[in-house]
Amino acid sequence: MKQLGPPPAKDAAPESADIANEREELTKQFSELDGELKQARVLLLRVDQLSDRVSQKRHSLYASELFARSPTVLDPFFWLETFQALPKEVRTAKALLETWFGERGDRLRWTAGALIIIGVIALAVGLTRWWFPRFVAQPMDTPSAKAWAALWVFVWFAARTPLAAGAALLAFDALGLLTARLEQIGEGLVAGIAAATFGHGVARGLLAPKEPERRLVQEDDATALCFYNHLVWSARALGVLVVLQVVHKTLFAPLIITVATNAAFAAVTAAFLTHLVIRLGKIKKDRGEALLAASWAHPLGLLMAVLISLALVAGYAGLAAFVALRVIVAAAVFGALYLLMVITHTLLATVGEQ
C-alpha cells in the first residue's frame, strides 16, 4: 500500500485499471488481516482471563485439599479400611508387572540392563570406598581445608546415588525395558532418592559425626550425632513418601491409602521431632550446661511436633503432612545454606589473608 501511494483525488486523473485492482485487493486483504488481528487480541485476553481463573481455582482446590477433614489417626476403623483397600492396589501392581514382563520379555535386553545396573553399583561403591576417601584425605589444620572437604562431602553424598539411579533409569529406557507407567514410577524413585540423599549430604558435610576435626559447626560429638541422625532419617522418610505418592498415583490407588500415607508420614515426622527434643534435653542434662543448638532447635522442634500431632488427632492429615514436609525441607535447605555460607566466608577470608 505504501508503494502504491495514496489514491488519486476526485478531480485528479484516474489511475490505471491494474493499479486500481491491486489497490482494491490489498485493501481487502488488509481489512481481513486487521479483523483477524483484533480477534487474536480478544482471544489472547480471553486466554489470560482463563489462566487467572485456572490459577485461582487451583489455589482454592489446594487450600480445600490441605484443610480437608479426614478420619483421625486414633480411629481404628480408618486403618481397617486402609488395610482392606491395600489388596486393590496390590492387584493393580501385579497386573502392571505381568504386563511389563509380557511386553518387555527380551532376555538379551534384560541381560544388558542387569549388567548395566551391576556396573553402576560397582562403580559407585568403588568410588566411595577407594577414590573419594583419598580425594578428601588432607590435613584439616586450616579453615580453608575444612571448608573444601565439607563442600566435596556434601556434593558427593548428595549427588552420588541419584546420578547412579538416573543413569540406570536412562539405560533401561534406552533399551526399551520400560512402559510409560513404570517410567513414571522410576522417575519418582529417582526423585525420592534425591530427596533422601540431599539431607544425607547436608548432614554429612555440615555435622561430620565421625570426623570432628572436619566439623564446621561448634557442637560436641553427641549433639552433632543427634542432629545428623534425625536429619538423615527424616530425609529418608521424605524420600519414601515421594516414592509412595508416585506409586499411588500411577496405580490409581484408593484415596484412603493416599490419606493414610500422609498421616503415617506426618506421624513419623512428629516422632522424630519428639525424639530430637528428648535427646537434646538428655544431652543438656548430661553436660550440665546449655547447648548452642538447643536454644532454637529444642523449642522449635517441640512446637512443630505438637502442631503436627494436633492436626493428626483433629483429622487434618493433609495439613499435618504439609507441615511435616515443610519442616524437613526447611531443615535440609537451612543446613545447605549455612554450609555454603560458612564455606564462602572461609574461602573469602583465606583469599583476603593471602
52 with 87, same domain: the answer is no
Domain membership flag for residue 6 = yes
Domain end, chosen from 39, 66, 93, is at 66
pLDDT tens, the chain, 354 aa long: 555 556 665 666 566 666 666 666 777 777 778 778 888 888 888 887 777 676 666 655 555 666 678 888 999 999 999 999 999 999 999 998 888 877 776 788 888 888 999 999 999 889 888 888 777 777 666 777 788 888 889 999 999 999 999 999 999 888 888 888 899 999 999 999 999 999 999 999 988 888 888 887 778 888 889 999 999 999 999 999 999 999 999 998 898 999 999 999 999 999 999 999 999 888 888 877 666 766 788 889 999 999 999 999 998 998 999 999 999 999 999 999 988 888 888 778 777 666
C-alpha cell at 36: 483477524
| C-alpha span between 301 and 269 (Å, rounded) | 10
Is there a contact between 216 and 171 (Cβ–Cβ < 8 Å)?
Answer: no
35 with 111, same domain: the answer is no
171 with 242, same domain: the answer is yes
| C-alpha span between 276 and 225 (Å, rounded) | 11
Domain end, chosen from 10, 31, 66, is at 66
Residue by residue, DSSP assigns 122-172 as HHHHHIIIIIHHHHH-S---SHHHHHHHHHHHHHHHHHHHHHHHHHHHHHH
| C-alpha span between 161 and 189 (Å, rounded) | 11
| Domain count for the chain | 2
- Please work out, in degrees rounded to the nearest 5, the angle formed at the alpha carbon of residue 143 by the alpha carbons of 137 and 149: 35
| C-alpha span between 229 and 236 (Å, rounded) | 11
Domain membership flag for residue 113 = yes
4 with 153, same domain: the answer is no
| C-alpha span between 233 and 203 (Å, rounded) | 10
| C-alpha span between 261 and 241 (Å, rounded) | 7
Position 4 scores a pLDDT of 55
101 with 40, same domain: the answer is no
Domain range for 3: 1-66
Q: What is the DSSP letter of 213?
A: G
Q: What is the DSSP letter of 8?
A: P
Three-class SS of residue 336? helix
Domain membership flag for residue 279 = yes
151 with 55, same domain: the answer is no
Neighbouring CB atoms inside 10 A of 253's CB total 21
- Please work out, in degrees rounded to the nearest 5, the angle formed at the alpha carbon of residue 327 by the alpha carbons of 321 and 331: 150
203 with 129, same domain: the answer is yes
Q: Is the dihedral of CA 209, 292, 332, 310 positive or negative?
A: positive
Q: Give the alpha-carbon dihedral of 216, 220, 224, 227, to 10 degrees.
A: -120
Question: Angle between the 221-250 and 255-287 helix axes, to the nearest 10 degrees?
Answer: 180
Domain membership flag for residue 71 = no
- Nearest alpha carbon to residue 226 among 169, 155, 164, 280: 280
Position 269 scores a pLDDT of 96
Neighbouring CB atoms inside 10 A of 44's CB total 10
54 with 91, same domain: the answer is no
Domain membership flag for residue 4 = yes
155 with 57, same domain: the answer is no
158 with 266, same domain: the answer is yes
58 with 84, same domain: the answer is no
Position 63 scores a pLDDT of 55
Q: What is the DSSP letter of 220?
A: -
109 with 153, same domain: the answer is yes
Element (H, E) at 11: none
- Nearest alpha carbon to residue 308 among 295, 321, 293: 321
Three-class SS of residue 247? helix
To which residue does cell 533401561 refer? Answer: 172
Is there a contact between 244 and 261 (Cβ–Cβ < 8 Å)?
Answer: yes
Domain membership flag for residue 151 = yes
Domain end, chosen from 66, 95, 121, is at 66
Neighbouring CB atoms inside 10 A of 112's CB total 16
